[in-house]
């Protein structure tokens, strides 16, 4: 659907060059909610703006349905942009226009007949739950309502792609939740591919199917939500995962790992809820003591993380660990490992 092929974007400014996006390769599938996370300045906004060519790549290609966007004329590009909706952190609504006319705006630009406009706008306002606000002006709306207008406007031309640049970053947690729910509904009902950019791991965790982590213009890691959360590779990814999973081992335990046998056990889909620990305790001559942990849900898959201590003799512990390894991921906790 959307493909980045070795895409680089360099900005020239006095005193040098800045590579905002650096040889990025990504493939986003139809109907998927794909997240891009990174710290400020990582190049996320530049990346998303490459999709509708608000930025032209310095090198590499951006393809939508196998069509290379950089080969298009300005006119052709305008047509393509009608197929790509975009929503923004600060909503970017026309202040002088009512909700109705804001949503009708992209249709007006496209020269849609008036009666069709009316029908479409009413349908979408209903979809985003703002039917009764059609005559209001943006300054009479809350942040969440403004973003709903933004979403309605982005959907007016029935696009197949929706770009979200920090769409919930200006909203409180409750409103964020409701907007994310709405975005999921957008995907489920219209089968729209959503590319979403954020610096909040919570947002990724709640709604995305897959995620890419960006740092200094490069994609340093990408995977399904489940894999990325359960097994983050890059230190930056680990930091992001920790920001919502909080799987850091408490200092009090960490200070004693040398003298004790402490392991981290990672459960997932098939294994969460199975009595793996108690069964090894029966099978071998060891005691298992849970020190710390949590279970959460990622994409409807239960996912958990336990820090456990084995007590018993070395040999039995190794046997027990080997046994557990057949079923789930288990790693010895070392001081340097955190």
Partner 1 sequence: MQVNLLEFWPKILEATNETLVMVFIALVLACLIGIPLGIALVVTRDQGLMENRPVFNTLNIIINFFRSVPFIILLVAILPITRFIVGTSIGTAAAVVPLVFFSGPYIARLVENSLLEVNKGVVEAAEAMGASTWQIIYRVLLPEALSSIVLNITIATIGLVGASAMAGFVGGGGLGDLAITYGYQRFETDVMIVTVILLVILVQIVQTLGNYLSKKLRRL
Ligand X SMILES: Nc1ncnc2c1ncn2[C@@H]1O[C@H](COP(=O)(O)OP(=O)(O)OP(=O)(O)O)[C@@H](O)[C@H]1O
Output the smallest distance, CB 203 to ligand X, in A.
13
CA distance 305 to 329: 10
CB of residue 194 vs partner 1: minimum separation in angstroms? 15
Q: How far apart are CA 294 and CA 301, in angstroms?
A: 14
- The residue among 110 and 337 lying less far from partner 1, judged by its C-beta, is 110
Quick one: which H or E segment has residue 212? strand 210-215
Which residue has the closest beta carbon to Mg ion? 45
With respect to Mg ion, which residue has the nearer C-beta, 37 or 134?
Answer: 37
**CB burial readout 246-261, b (16+ within 10 A) else e:** ebebeeeebeebeeeb
Pairing of strands 261-267, 329-332: antiparallel
DSSP summary character for residue 73: -
Nearer to partner 1, 8 or 83 (CB): 83
Contact 130, 148 (CB under 8 A): yes
Task: Give the interface with ligand X as residue ranges (CB under 6 A).
Answer: 11, 13, 18, 20, 38, 40-46, 199
Contact positions toward partner 1, by CB under 8 A? Answer: 52, 54, 77-82, 84, 86, 88, 90-98, 105-106, 108-110, 137, 153, 157, 163
292 binds, among partner 1, Mg ion, ligand X, none (CB under 5 to 8 A by kind): none
Cα distances (Å, whole numbers) of residue 9 to 24, 59, 67, 166? 10, 7, 19, 20
Measured distance CA(229)–CA(206) in Å, rounded: 12
Binding partner selected for residue 95 from Mg ion, partner 1, ligand X, none, CB under the kind-specific 5 to 8 Å limit: partner 1
For 233, phi and psi rounded to 5 degrees? -95, -50
Alpha carbon 55 to chain centroid, angstroms:
22
Q: Which does 115 bind (CB under 5 to 8 A by kind): Mg ion, partner 1, ligand X, none?
A: none
CB of 55 to partner 1, least distance (A): 11
Nearest distance from C-beta of residue 73 to partner 1, angstroms: 12
Q: Residue 137: name its binding partner from partner 1, Mg ion, ligand X, none (Cβ under 5 to 8 Å by kind).
A: partner 1
Token duo for residue 311: 């007590």
Kindly tell me which of 45 and 230 has the beta carbon lying closer to Mg ion: 45
x/- mask, Mg ion, residues 39-68, rule CB under 5 A, reads ------x-----------------------
> Which residue's entry shows tokens 């020190």?
291
User: From the list Mg ion, ligand X, partner 1, none, which binds 133 (C-beta under 5 to 8 Å, kind-based)?
Assistant: none
């Amino acid at each position: 659907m959307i493909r980045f092929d070795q895409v680089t974007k360099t900005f020239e400014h006095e005193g040098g060059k800045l590579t905002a996006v650096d040889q990025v390769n990504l493939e986003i599938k139809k109907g998927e909610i794909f997240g891009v996370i990174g710290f400020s300045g990582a190049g996320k906004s530049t990346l998303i703006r490459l999709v509708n060519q608000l930025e032209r790549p310095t090198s590499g290609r951006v393809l939508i349905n196998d069509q290379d966007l950089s080969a298009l004329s300005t006119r052709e590009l305008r047509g393509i942009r009608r197929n790509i909706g975009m929503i923004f952190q600060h909503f970017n609504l026309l202040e002088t226009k009512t909700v109705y006319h804001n949503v009708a705006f992209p249709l007006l630009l496209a020269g849609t007949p008036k009666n069709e406009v009316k029908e479409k706008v009413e349908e979408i306002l209903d979809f985003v739950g703002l039917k009764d606000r059609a005559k209001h002006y943006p300054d009479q709306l809350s942040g969440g309502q403004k973003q709903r207008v933004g979403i309605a406007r982005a959907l007016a031309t029935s696009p197949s792609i929706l770009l979200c640049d920090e769409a919930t970053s200006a909203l409180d947690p409750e409103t964020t939740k409701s907007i994310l729910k709405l975005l999921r509904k957008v995907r489920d009902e219209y089968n729209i591919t959503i590319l979403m950019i954020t610096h909040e791991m919570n947002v990724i965790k709640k709604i995305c199917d897959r995620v890419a982590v960006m740092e200094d213009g490069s994609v340093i890691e990408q995977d399904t939500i489940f894999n990325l959360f359960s097994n983050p590779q890059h230190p930056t990814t680990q930091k992001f995962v920790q920001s919502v999973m909080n799987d850091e081992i408490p200092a009090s335990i960490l200070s004693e790992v040398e003298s004790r046998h402490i392991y981290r056990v990672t459960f997932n889909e098939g294994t969460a809820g199975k009595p793996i620990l108690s069964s090894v305790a029966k099978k071998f001559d060891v005691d298992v003591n849970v020190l710390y942990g949590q279970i959460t849900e990622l994409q409807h898959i239960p996912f958990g993380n336990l820090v456990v201590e084995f007590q018993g003799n070395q040999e039995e512990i190794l046997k027990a660990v080997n046994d557990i390894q057949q079923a789930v991921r288990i790693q010895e906790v070392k001081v340097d490992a955190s």
